[in-house]
Structure 1
Amino acid sequence: MSVRASLPRPVKIAGRRASVRLGTATAERRQLPSFIMVGAQRCGTTSLFRALMSHPLIHSANYHKGVNYFDVNYDRPFSWYQGHFPTTSVLRRRVKGTDGDPVTFEASGYYLFHPCAPERIAHHLPDVKIVAMLRDPVERAYSAWKHELARGYETEPFEDALDLEDQRLEGVVERMEADPDVQSFSHRHHAYVRRGHYAEQLQRMQRYLPAEQFHVVDSESFFTEPESTYGALLDFLGMPAAMPEKFDRWNGRPSSPMPEETRSRLRAHFADHDEALAAMIGRTPAWLT
């Protein structure tokens, strides 16, 4: 265990706050991300994040997997966001003796789904590359429900939560788009079905950023064929090949299986959305093969 990981939580929180204050004051010296993982939630992004962190030239935001600036922290100045990343001088020291230039990134699982995040990202980082990790939307919905239930953010059984989703999210996107200060608990934590409408979310992002800056990783392919899937991502990022010692799975939540009736209901719902995604990315998503 690292020294930082062994520290008491209040000490770690104080250290992060001090780091951000210092980072904000020295924002111009800090290296903004070359790419951002935008989600999707419960699709294996933590596992991919850890694989990327093993690369000698790839460095995350300080203290954070994700900064969540372009979704829930956009009321802060952009210098606050810059302050989360390492300085260029620190990065040069880290990669001394390694061929290639260092890059930074972050991974915030709400960016893909947040209606305002794409325009904000494009405004501040017009050349940034976007990595979206997608999973079978049926399995993603169930995994998200288990996740929110375990965190205390959900109290309803899965089938009831699905039935309540339209009511919980009615008019929310319109309010968020009309007022940048609006945040919605249900939009962030109760969108089990809507977060699986991947083509809609990618299309919204591509209104502001060109398609060639996007790369889609299928979660199923990453876990069954990690070397080739990860290698294709490194090619997209323009990074030299450097494989982790091993590819681990993080943040899984074992539980009882989904009822088959519910699975069939969701599979039918997502059929058109999966078809739209396949047309958009030019291949059949791995969960359908």
Structure 2
Amino acid sequence: MTQAPTLVLGMGAAKAGTSWLFDQLAGHRDCHLRGIKELHYFTTALDGRWSSQVRRIEERVARSEGPLRADLSDWLAVLRQGRLNLRAYGGYLCKGRDGQKIVADFTPAYGLLPQRALSRLARLPDVKMIYLLRDPVERLWSNVRMEAARTARWPGTVGVLARRAMEKALAGRGPSWTRSDYAGALGRLDRAIGPDRLHVMFYEEMTQPQALARLAAFLGIGPLSVNAGQRVNGGVAVWLPSSMRVRAGMALRPQYEYVRQRFGRVPAAWHGSMVGV
């Protein structure tokens, strides 16, 4: 009888390397990952927006082909139930599995779930969680650039829209700012799940052999051999004015302080963004 797999939930943070890590695990012999990275299953269950998720996946099915279309169609069947069904969710993740130890759902928005929802997820059988940290200023700027690129009618306007979005974020408004709250997200995760089932990595160090070895040991899989040069969802290159960078560093100072206190350090690559820490 095949042993049940470990469910790995990639909880965030957004724009901190979750897509890259998902792709690396998808190619590992001990992991079975379906073609859709962000399922948003538990956020959808929380807000009850099943219909909008069904429409979104239907649109993707219509413009997809091959294995991805099959994965999307399988996932659409789960969503069309219009309710939380963990058996169907697990069935989707495990379809086609051939004894691999790991299945996974990498949805950074799960890091924003309230405490009660995270605590329920922690009670799922054999579940582990991963949270990625990136220099707070760089993560925020990458996030607002991504949102600007989605709304821009042509590439030449991305810079203007991104700087407007950055101003909004620095005023403490919008989802990009909410996703910058490492202290809040990790605090909720700490209360929900034990340290033996929560793994935190730094984006700037995640391709280093020591970091990869620790991740493999946490997941209980064989050594990870990764494509360190692969870039996923890099976004549009837009200059961040130095004055805005300084303001962002000041606004995010509590996050730098939290990370340094929790881990006893911050990556060397973060030092240029830190203001008064």
Q: TM-score, normalised by structure 1?
A: 0.69
SS in 2 for 1:277: helix
Instruction: Give the % identical residues.
Output: 27
8 A Cα contact 1:33 1:106, kept in partner = no
Do structure 1's residue 58 and structure 2's residue 31 form an aligned pair? yes
Aligned partner of 1:138 in structure 2 is 137
Q: Please show how residues 270-289 of structure 1 align to structure 2 within 5 Å.
A: 270-289=252-271
Distance change >3 Å, CA 30–CA 106, structure 1 → 2:
farther
**1:48-86 CA deviation, whole Å, 9 max, x = no partner?**
1111112101111x3311221121244422234223212
Do structure 1's residue 148 and structure 2's residue 126 form an aligned pair? no
The answer to which of 152-161 and 270-279 deviates more is 152-161
8 A Cα contact 1:32 1:104, kept in partner = yes
State the Cα distance separating 1:164 from its structure 2 match. Answer: 3.6
Distance change >3 Å, CA 161–CA 52, structure 1 → 2:
same
Q: Please show how residues 1-289 of structure 1 align to structure 2 within 5 Å.
A: 33-60=6-33, 62-74=34-46, 75=48, 76-78=83-85, 79-87=87-95, 90-92=96-98, 102-115=101-114, 117-123=117-123, 125=124, 127-152=126-151, 157-165=161-169, 190-222=174-206, 225-244=207-226, 247-289=229-271
**1:207-241 CA deviation, whole Å, 9 max, x = no partner?**
2111232111111112xx44332222111212121
**Given residue 77 of structure 1, which amino acid in structure 2 is its aligned partner?**
L
User: Number of residue pairs matched?
Assistant: 228
State the Cα distance separating 1:163 from its structure 2 match. Answer: 4.3
**Given residue 48 of structure 1, which amino acid in structure 2 is its aligned partner?**
L
**1:187-215 CA deviation, whole Å, 9 max, x = no partner?**
xxx32223112122110122211123211
The answer to which of 256-265 and 203-212 deviates more is 203-212
Distance change >3 Å, CA 268–CA 58, structure 1 → 2:
same
Structure 2: give runs of 5+ residues left out of the alignment: 49-82, 272-277
Q: TM-score, normalised by structure 2?
A: 0.71
State the Cα distance separating 1:111 from its structure 2 match. Answer: 0.7
What is the CA–CA distance in structure 1 between the aligned matches of 2:39 and 2:4, rounded to whole Å?
14
Distance change >3 Å, CA 168–CA 200, structure 1 → 2:
closer
What is the CA–CA distance in structure 1 between the aligned matches of 2:244 and 2:170, rounded to whole Å?
17
**Given residue 68 of structure 1, which amino acid in structure 2 is its aligned partner?**
H
- The structure where helix makes up a greater share of residues is 2
8 A Cα contact 1:132 1:216, kept in partner = yes
